[in-house]
Structure 1
């Protein structure tokens, strides 16, 4: 921040001196503070819009440590099988299905409030079509995580209303609107790929002003969202996914989307505070596969083993948990991952598995695994892809309390249907392979991992040992959504009650109802795994 101020002081001093030399008869110019930025100067340097653009980027995957912790480490991460809490005083938490009122507001109210100030500042404050396209794209990137976590959310009414306490849209309506906005942003970005990077590089912490790369990210996000609808609206999913693939998605690690913040503040969460350790689920799969990426992603425990914490327990000793369970590897210069080439390629593989060529799906699946190995700097992808002997390992708790058998027997190599084989069963096993490998490849994107687990039933995760839901969650199937914050009941109750009715009306194949963590959102409609 100090470096930014010094740069601006130099720019402003030059501008002030130029103004005095040109016209010393203007009383306002003579008496203006030479360090004060005028509106014209800020417009010329793209400052007003650029800072709002940067603010929106910081919310896609939150860079503020507390918001990140609530959205990823405490909710999405545990529900996606990635992360478990070590704090022995946390008796009310998301992963045991009884979050406290002050925790519940973070993934909803705090995200919405912080998003719409910079978003409205751009769409109402400039006629620059690229700036508006960025704002639309980033709103979708932020808010699709919110609707995936809750179901119905305020969306269409927020853009034109000063209050955040407005009517909710159904999740189907939110997705419909988001696709419209994505298509608009993609069309505009596609017309501006030759725009010099300098126009946005000062404020762009992802692609440094490279519009062609932003276009690939926008299409990749569209592909992700399209496949989310594969069970609830397969025709829409297929059409939108085909459009995204044809438009050009991320295919190389050089085009991965990641936010390069001045400092990765998750080092506080994982390294300094030690509030979390890697979940048992992902390490059971990777240990079973003898996955070479493991040592690139995680740290061994105090005796040199890679072992995770069972998610959904009440820890008795934080210091013991910190030493006995593996931590993730993260440094202050680690970028915040948004979207990698492996994810886009796995999504494309699933598209082919469902609606295209099984042979092409196999090729894309193997390519995606290789992309993930390349991204992590691991070797041995070819051997990994053909080893049909290794399966996910059972969980052995180093503290002896929560050991469990493996939940899946899925192997890594692609399976080809033969004459007389059950082709549907083979296809389902290959789907499991795609999702399991994508799950490993996109770590630590907890909200996305949780969403894909709910959509497909994969990966198969260990049930929580400590269920404090009071029966509102099917423990075998885990949390299906987050409960709305208490503030919505207090400040927006009429609209909230209508949203809860919509949530129930949209649900299919559910065995819980109401504003509870066991209710299924609109797109979460595949029959549960047997």
Structure 2
């Protein structure tokens, strides 16, 4: 009996020991610790910060999108006009409230760097390259809003209490970062990564490489008046690279969102805080543009006063202090809750190539052929027919704006530019033609429209009715930038002061030009 008991104990001990040793690594790990190899499964380690970065390029957050894309970009770019009578200090009248000014600076910068830095724990060079492209896409917008900003010296915590970089240095570094990312993405162009980490292309690396090149082309053209040699070099590199740039609408970059923020701002906030701008409807009405029905709703005025003959596509004049009236009856943006957010389309990229070709650069096409191709791409994107007829229209011009309520009509048309390409005219007229059509095709990317207006002077927009800038903003040239938030002067005093004196080349107000905005 004793021998049998002893044998039983030995067997039990052996079994117990075997069980312990088989789970030794699990037992000796802290249960609460998430290990790197576990986090890398299904791209978990990268998908959270990658999705967060993607959600900042056109902010997925409704509050950020309202202040950055609608009230700032929409107004300054000639796409949207404020329809809330309670807005008395705003971007469009050049006297924005302090809490408006700080949103792009204090919300975007720390979120970009905090999430970008989280990606660095991963060994996956493809996702880190995608993150770098996302970072550049957001930060290019921020520097184009303010000018010099903290960039190269921001720490791991993402706090922007750091020295500023000049715009020239920021653009130089962004090109380096894009080039490094493009090399990685091009080398892995046949690869895929988890669609859970990608709300744009579902993990398609080649499409990310094309987006990176297309972004590089956009930024290269931005600096053409400040550094033409670098602009040409980077533009030609992007277009003629192994992967290339957007050429079809299958390449277009759209972010999948659960609730489109434009829908909320245009319809749900106080009955809609913005409406379509009279600038855009006047140009498209004059051209009898078939894309209007894809872009806008018709106005809904009571027509008893006979001011207009029928409800149609009537935008609201920008830069007005709205009196009492039916200012939400102007045309609105056609957008549904489930609609994706556009970052960039093939039409814009092809218009950029048309401009490069107009300058004599190698853009794989002539200015005219690329211009016509870009218009056709925009029509196709929106499922609209009639591009061939539209391209041949040599007579139509932007219409003179007549306000349905009679308060803010405009005497004369800002521009007389026609649609059809004219190879017999000078550079400037065809540049206006390209930029005006690119502006139409890029709706509703207001910040991009504002940047191109400051760079080229096109499209020609109606002056703000109420300029409340106390003389700091020239009504004919319009706002050139945003001033820095007051929080920078209290929390980053020395660095912001040095940036204004060394880099800004003017006072910290809305009338000072950015480095690349050399053209008057």
User: TM-score scaled to structure 2, two decimals?
Assistant: 0.90
Q: Offset at 1:503?
A: 3.6
Q: Offset at 1:50?
A: 1.2
User: C-alpha separation between the residues in 1 aligned to 2:21 and 2:357?
Assistant: 65
User: C-alpha separation between the residues in 2 aligned to 1:182 and 1:51?
Assistant: 22
- For the 8 Å contact 2:109–2:158, the answer to whether it is kept is no
Q: Offset at 1:160?
A: 5.1
Residue 447 of structure 2: aligned partner? 447
Residue 306 of structure 2: aligned partner? none
Residue 240 of structure 1: aligned partner? 234
Larger radius of gyration: 2
Question: 1:306 aligned to 2:287?
Answer: no
Classify the secondary structure of the residue corresponding to 1:277: strand
User: C-alpha separation between the residues in 1 aligned to 2:458 and 2:48?
Assistant: 39
Residue 11 of structure 1: aligned partner? none
Residue 420 of structure 1: aligned partner? none
Moved more, 351-360 or 492-501: 351-360
Question: 1:486 aligned to 2:486?
Answer: yes
For residue 376 of structure 1, the aligned residue among 366, 382, 397 is 382
Q: 1:15-56 CA deviation, whole Å, 9 max, x = no partner?
A: xxxxx99956778489958xx965532222321211111100
Q: 1:400-434 CA deviation, whole Å, 9 max, x = no partner?
A: 011012100000000021xxxxx5xx221111010
For residue 39 of structure 2, the aligned residue among 42, 48, 55 is 42
User: C-alpha separation between the residues in 2 aligned to 1:357 and 1:205?
Assistant: 33
User: C-alpha separation between the residues in 2 aligned to 1:459 and 1:239?
Assistant: 26
* 1:21-170 to 2 correspondences below 5 Å: 23=22, 28=27, 32=31, 39-123=36-120, 125-159=121-155, 163-170=159-166
Q: 1:349-393 CA deviation, whole Å, 9 max, x = no partner?
A: 000001248981100000000000000111111111111111000
Question: 1:403 aligned to 2:401?
Answer: no
Residue 341 of structure 2: aligned partner? 336
Residue 193 of structure 1: aligned partner? 189
- For the 8 Å contact 1:503–1:521, the answer to whether it is kept is no
Classify the secondary structure of the residue corresponding to 2:240: helix
User: C-alpha separation between the residues in 2 aligned to 1:119 and 1:31?
Assistant: 27
Q: 1:203-223 CA deviation, whole Å, 9 max, x = no partner?
A: 200000000100110000000
- For the 8 Å contact 1:56–1:119, the answer to whether it is kept is yes
User: C-alpha separation between the residues in 2 aligned to 1:439 and 1:503?
Assistant: 30
Q: Offset at 1:194?
A: 1.4
Cα gap change, 1:483 to 1:283, in 2 (>3 Å): same
Q: CA RMSD for the aligned pairs?
A: 2.0
Moved more, 158-167 or 339-348: 158-167
For residue 349 of structure 1, the aligned residue among 354, 367, 371 is 354
User: C-alpha separation between the residues in 2 aligned to 1:382 and 1:499?
Assistant: 50
Classify the secondary structure of the residue corresponding to 1:364: helix
Q: Offset at 1:262?
A: 2.3
User: C-alpha separation between the residues in 2 aligned to 1:107 and 1:156?
Assistant: 18
Query: What is the count of residue pairs matched by the alignment?
Result: 487
Classify the secondary structure of the residue corresponding to 1:321: coil
User: TM-score scaled to structure 1, two decimals?
Assistant: 0.88
Q: Offset at 1:181?
A: 0.2
User: C-alpha separation between the residues in 1 aligned to 2:161 and 2:491?
Assistant: 7
Structure 2: unaligned runs, 5 residues or longer: 1-18, 302-310
User: C-alpha separation between the residues in 2 aligned to 1:280 and 1:341?
Assistant: 26
Residue 4 of structure 1: aligned partner? none
Q: Offset at 1:242?
A: 0.3
- For the 8 Å contact 1:120–1:159, the answer to whether it is kept is no
Structure 1: unaligned runs, 5 residues or longer: 1-19, 418-422, 506-512
User: C-alpha separation between the residues in 2 aligned to 1:206 and 1:22?
Assistant: 46
* 1:210-289 to 2 correspondences below 5 Å: 210-247=204-241, 248-273=244-269, 274-289=272-287
For residue 207 of structure 1, the aligned residue among 197, 201, 204 is 201
Q: Offset at 1:451?
A: 0.2
Q: 1:429-459 CA deviation, whole Å, 9 max, x = no partner?
A: 1110100000000100000000000100000
User: C-alpha separation between the residues in 2 aligned to 1:149 and 1:235?
Assistant: 24
